[in-house]
Amino acid sequence: MKDVASLHQEEFGKPPQVVTAAPGVVDIMGEHTEHTGGFALPFAIDRYLYVAVSRREDTSLRFYAADFKERKRTSIANIKYKREDRWANYIKGVIVAFLQEGHPIRGLDITISGTVPPSIGLASSAALTVAAAVAVKTLYGLSIPDRRIIDFARGAETDFMELETGAIDTFTSCLSRPRQAMFIDTKYLEYRYVPLNMKDVKFLITDSQVPRSLGDGEFVQRWEDCERCIALLSRRRPGSTLRDFTAKDIRESIGILPENVRRRCLHIVEENARVREAEEILRKNGDLATLGKLLNRSHESLRDLFEVSCPELDWLVKRSWETEGVLGSRLTGTGFGGCTITLIRESAVPEYEKRLEEYERIFGFKAVSFVCEASGGVRVL
């Protein structure tokens, strides 16, 4: 595979002036907690989105996605969201953020390439926007703190593209450290680093190859359910987010909350507790067997309470649990397709991968797995 600098040279006839790399992200724990100001425990993976950029003499913007062999173009004066521009909109949104802050951005040639699989819950879009933001900042020699870079990257999705997305992925892709996870308090956007002493145990990502089958409306309904739960519970005692309540509060709300609302909010409350417990495990004794059990409980909760799993993900998780050497497994990302994260002894990986052959015979999808290490955040190459 050619590096992004060579691809840029071939496409635009000149070498890039700046090349950046930003990692994808996976959650160890903390799925669907962010909307209600909860906690999460993600880490950056050692797969990256690369952005190469060079200046132009005019005000044109040329984009080249080398992996798709696709090209898009616009200009500074005409920059706007276009649905058909798909991946290029993320970069355009970043450029707009710089322009709105008064930075004198002009014409650019931009090439992207990467090893973060797109659309399976590994934060490929966050990696792209973070890499693009740091590339533009570096190209123009701008003094912009990391927090503003995170704002620019996230704003490309939330403001320019009007997508519902949180801050966890951009925070982690920008600020992560090697061999460490991040405990993120999403209510106050505070974070701290958590050591990952893995020894002979690895994190294994398995792409189910199942495209997400349900629309954003399913998630909007869940967020509305959580807000309704908070409103009803706060009548009994003060609280503005689900983190202000306990699992006991939710369980005692039978008759007050509709059952589906109660189940979904119970997942959030218990997942917040699992994030805290996982952090404590990693800090104190690195008991990865106990951490694996937390992953299992998280999946059961996502499946039975929050209801975002699917038969393919459940099959992958169940077969993982049956494989000797697997400590725990669960779906990761939004659900309804996407991938699983498995805590597995390195010696057990071949047996695990062998079992994936049965998955293809049953479901008709060829699952793809890979081991990942905890990586550092965005960097200039």
Query: Of 109, 169, 207, 249, which one is the catalytic site residue?
Result: 169
Whether the Cβ atoms of residue 320 and residue 342 lie closer than 8 Å to each other: yes
The pair phi, psi for residue 306, each rounded to 5°, is -85, -20
Tell me whether residue 304 is one of the annotated catalytic residues. no
DSSP 8-state symbol, 156: I
DSSP 8-state symbol, 354: H
Helix (H) / strand (E) containing 89: helix 87-100
Q: Which amino acid belongs to residue 192?
A: R
**What is the distance between the alpha carbons of residues 86 and 72, in angstroms, rounded to a whole number?**
10
**SS3 of 125, please?**
helix
**SS3 of 147, please?**
helix
**What is the distance between the alpha carbons of residues 136 and 153, in angstroms, rounded to a whole number?**
11
Distances from the Cα of 96 to the Cαs of 16, 157, 164, 195, in angstroms? 21, 11, 18, 37
Helix (H) / strand (E) containing 278: helix 259-284
**What is the distance between the alpha carbons of residues 84 and 286, in angstroms, rounded to a whole number?**
47
**What is the distance between the alpha carbons of residues 121 and 24, in angstroms, rounded to a whole number?**
9
**What is the distance between the alpha carbons of residues 222 and 240, in angstroms, rounded to a whole number?**
17
**What is the distance between the alpha carbons of residues 89 and 157, in angstroms, rounded to a whole number?**
9
Whether the Cβ atoms of residue 133 and residue 51 lie closer than 8 Å to each other: no
**What is the distance between the alpha carbons of residues 168 and 175, in angstroms, rounded to a whole number?**
11
The neighbouring-strand residues paired with 339 are 207, 332
Structure tokens at 329: 């497994």
Q: Catalytic residues, which ones?
A: 169
